[in-house]
Structure 1
Amino acid sequence: MPTCNTDSQYEYRECLDIIYDIIQKYQESHKIILCGDLNGTLLDSRNNKHDKILKSFVSEMGLSTGVDKDERHTFFHHAWSSSSQIDYILVNDKKLISKYNIDEKSSINLSAHTSVTVKTTIEIPANTKPAIKNKKAKFKLQWDKIDKRQYNNLIQQDSTSIIEENNVNTQMDMVTNSLIRAGNITIPKKLLQLKGPKWKASPEVQILLRSCRDLYKQWQEVGKQKDHPMATMLRNEKRKLRSKVRMEQALSRQNLYQQIMDNPNSQLFYRLINRNRSNQQTSTNCLKIDENYNYVPEEQRKSFAKYYEDLSVPKENIYENGYLNLCKIRQQLYEQAIDKEAEDPEQFTESEVMKAIGKLNTKKSADESGITAEHLQNSKSTVSPVLTSIFNNIILKRTVPVSFKFGILTPVLKKQKDPTVMGNYRGITVTPTIGKTFEYAFLEKLNLKSKTLLQFGFTEGLSPIMSSLLISESRYEIKKIN
């Protein structure tokens, strides 16, 4: 904590504010132990500006030493001009501490402080297993450096045994394992840099940032006086920094617009949409479960799982009888049509499967098995016979592989909704990559062609979000001209 000097109470409060936020975040799920040189005393014999702030903070947060207060001092000035008690171990639960001790000043102790020790009631099991580190999302596959020939050769070695297998689920397990094994051997990996800002400062901005930091340190050394010339210099330098950042951001926007005009594509289009979306704070450390706020991540995860599982279960009582009867009639018609084609259904060809692989979007998240579109697109000719065999087995045996029914579901907060309410989240699911390939191949057989220029869904090169953009832009223009 900051030492006591001119106007240090402001910096002292800032430090306590940080500690306050940490305690607020974890006090519902953890026991709090705060220890260190607090540069303020809880004794009644002293009451300077730090002492008053610290006593108020400790009282507000319900902190204490857990036992009767010890009056002995913990800090002794090197010149022996003064001494005080400023080193503490504080807890929010008195039952945590069974013994509190302040050591006597020793001649062999060269520090100005003496040691403070406590005996806690916390028990740690001797057979505690080390935490298993999460290995996901730590590395990124470098597809541009893949050994394509070896990758295809490794998959080719497993192709015959996969095609000869009759069970669809076994086939899926075998092809997934083959793709993952081949990828691990032939695709270099690089460590993901998970920390740091997404925005990269230019060299000019970095110079201004360093200048602002240096000026701030110099201003801090003179006591942060508001009327000091250093404060004026710092304000001017910050003004230059903000101006430079705004200029670069404006230039970045213009470059994006120019790219969209010169080479329009879906990736640039969605970049534009995401840029204009609200970047409101959506994170929360608590969730409202059964009318109570819960701070335990494991219980929150289970509650989300239960919530989405309940959503997926059909409920007849929420639909009208007329609608339900219509659905049953449709289902009967589908089954009759399938029965007619069951004897000799139209099967997939390798060219159809290769075309479906080509439609997969790259640079997307891996599915639950770790398979991405790149795994298939870098082995089109090799993996197509295998997938053709699997897809035809699905058609002939009318069996959906179990793996097609799994996915990684992520709750995403709806716009401008309370993040603590579970019902305000929609589930976004990463479905199996091979399942998507089957869907693309199957959709091609359905021959869904648009019959009107106003049809945006199920239309190649178009999507409903484009229609939405046209409508919102038209509405904006009409409002603009009254």
Structure 2
Amino acid sequence: MKKKLKSRLALIDDNELILTCDNISDNINSICKILSESAVKNSSVPINRRKRTGKPRKKPWAPEIASAAKSSKIHHAKWKAAGKPTNPENEIYKNNKNSKKKLRSLQRRLEATNRNNKYQELMELNERNDKGFYKLVRKQRDPSNPSGSSLIFKDNTLNDQIEITEAFAQYFEELSTPCENVNFDNDHFTNVKRDITSLTELFKHSKNHNIPVTTTEEVKKTVLSFKNGKSPDEENITAEHVKFGGQTLISILTNIINFIFQNLDIPSLLKSGIACPILKKGKKENGSKLLQKNCHHYVHWKNCREATSSKQPRFNKQTTK
């Protein structure tokens, strides 16, 4: 993998790499694409496991429901054999209708009982009992699970899958837009933006561009300090991708970092990240109340490209001036 990756990266000659503020994002995207495609092509082929061809086995009904289902089938067969009468006074028609009504009532009652038991079990679950929590998650995702899913969002109970999806989308949209919060200090936010703009203009026109050049050894040391086994960023890049790039990738990254230092321009591509909501400290609520009040703040996970540059000491010093 290392040889193939280095050969592809060699096509981007770092000595002739002409960077501008307009094309630096495109160059970084090209590097990410090479790293991602090389990893996919050289990854080990997964073992084809035997797939189940039959339908998932359903759990047996309670004796009362099984008896009602059998009775409903018998009455439906008699109604069908009688020519499907629709007269409300017909005895066969009434028996078929009543048997179906009884079966559906028992099914809804069982579903409500299972749903309440699930919520009660979730409420009584210990906060640090991860095993029990994931056991409940697997049980809920089981195709044979007859109970439906519901979610309480803004005092409304949602049972439809589309409504639940829209509720999640609305919640995360509100979470990522703090200025729409009624408790948000817009005056302070405006003052901070004005200060940032003033300081940026002052720094650019002060001709203070004497930032020391970053060496390949510094970038290499930074890359090797990354932890393995972490989740990929939105470009599907992990620390392992950067480490396997070798000296060729280190040289390219060094040129990109030095370009940022010299031009005082950080590409928007390096400012992106993944927002992950977290619970408030000491809070323990059930899953249905998660969207209501617990996630008022979130963790911003840096992408792997941003971490490469932001770990440079001089980068931190200059961006805080």
TM-score bracket for this pair, using the shorter chain length: 0.5 to 0.7
Greater shift, 322-331 or 300-309, is seen at 322-331
Q: Percent identity?
A: 18
Bigger-Rg structure (1/2): 1
Alignment partner of 1:153 is 2:7: yes
The one-letter amino acid paired with 2:175 is: Y
Equivalence for 1:288: 152
**Contact 2:261–2:315 (CA<8 Å) still a contact in 1?**
no
1:399 deviates by 2.7
**Contact 2:204–2:264 (CA<8 Å) still a contact in 1?**
no
Q: Hey, which of these two has a bigger chunk of strand by percent?
A: 1
Distance in 2 (CA, whole Å) between partners of 1:379 and 1:360 is 14
Distance in 2 (CA, whole Å) between partners of 1:316 and 1:389 is 45
Alignment partner of 1:395 is 2:265: no
Equivalence for 2:28: 172
Distance in 1 (CA, whole Å) between partners of 2:18 and 2:197 is 34
The one-letter amino acid paired with 2:215 is: T
Alignment partner of 1:299 is 2:163: no
**Contact 1:148–1:186 (CA<8 Å) still a contact in 2?**
no
1:352 deviates by 1.9
Distance in 1 (CA, whole Å) between partners of 2:265 and 2:47 is 40
Unmatched segments (≥5 aa) in structure 2: 50-126, 141-148
Q: 1:94-105 to 2 correspondence within 5 Å?
A: none
Unmatched segments (≥5 aa) in structure 1: 1-146, 194-275, 448-482
1:445 deviates by 6.1
1:370 deviates by 0.9
The one-letter amino acid paired with 1:420 is: S
The one-letter amino acid paired with 2:28 is: M
Alignment counterpart, residue 298 of structure 2, candidates 414, 418, 427 = 427
Alignment partner of 1:367 is 2:221: no
Alignment counterpart, residue 436 of structure 1, candidates 301, 307, 321 = 307
The one-letter amino acid paired with 1:185 is: K
Distance in 2 (CA, whole Å) between partners of 1:439 and 1:350 is 15
**Contact 2:278–2:298 (CA<8 Å) still a contact in 1?**
yes
**Contact 1:403–1:432 (CA<8 Å) still a contact in 2?**
no
1:390 deviates by 1.8
Distance in 1 (CA, whole Å) between partners of 2:128 and 2:45 is 33
Distance in 1 (CA, whole Å) between partners of 2:47 and 2:294 is 35
Show CA shifts across 1:122-144 (max 9, x none).
xxxxxxxxxxxxxxxxxxxxxxx
Q: Hey, which of these two has a bigger chunk of helix by percent?
A: 2
1:433 deviates by 0.5
Equivalence for 2:214: 348
Equivalence for 2:285: 417
Distance in 2 (CA, whole Å) between partners of 1:395 and 1:427 is 29
289 and 387 in structure 1: CA distance in 2 versus 1, 3 angstrom threshold: same
Show CA shifts across 1:28-70 (max 9, x none).
xxxxxxxxxxxxxxxxxxxxxxxxxxxxxxxxxxxxxxxxxxx
Q: 1:204-223 to 2 correspondence within 5 Å?
A: none
Distance in 2 (CA, whole Å) between partners of 1:300 and 1:192 is 37
CA-based RMSD of the aligned residues comes to 3.8
**Contact 1:163–1:390 (CA<8 Å) still a contact in 2?**
no
The one-letter amino acid paired with 2:4 is: Q
The one-letter amino acid paired with 2:222 is: A
Larger RCO (CA under 8 A, 6+ residues apart): 2
Show CA shifts across 1:424-477 (max 9, x none).
135344431011111112467639xxxxxxxxxxxxxxxxxxxxxxxxxxxxxx
1:355 deviates by 1.7
TM-score (norm 2): 0.55
Alignment counterpart, residue 446 of structure 1, candidates 314, 317, 321 = 317
Alignment partner of 1:310 is 2:177: yes
Show CA shifts across 1:2-36 (max 9, x none).
xxxxxxxxxxxxxxxxxxxxxxxxxxxxxxxxxxx
SS of 2:46's equivalent? strand
Equivalence for 1:219: none
SS of 2:10's equivalent? helix
TM-score (norm 1): 0.38
286 and 356 in structure 1: CA distance in 2 versus 1, 3 angstrom threshold: farther
The one-letter amino acid paired with 2:37 is: R
**Contact 2:14–2:251 (CA<8 Å) still a contact in 1?**
no
Distance in 1 (CA, whole Å) between partners of 2:46 and 2:209 is 51
Alignment counterpart, residue 408 of structure 1, candidates 274, 285, 292 = 274
**Contact 2:215–2:254 (CA<8 Å) still a contact in 1?**
yes
Matched residues, number: 218
Equivalence for 1:239: none
**Contact 1:168–1:393 (CA<8 Å) still a contact in 2?**
no
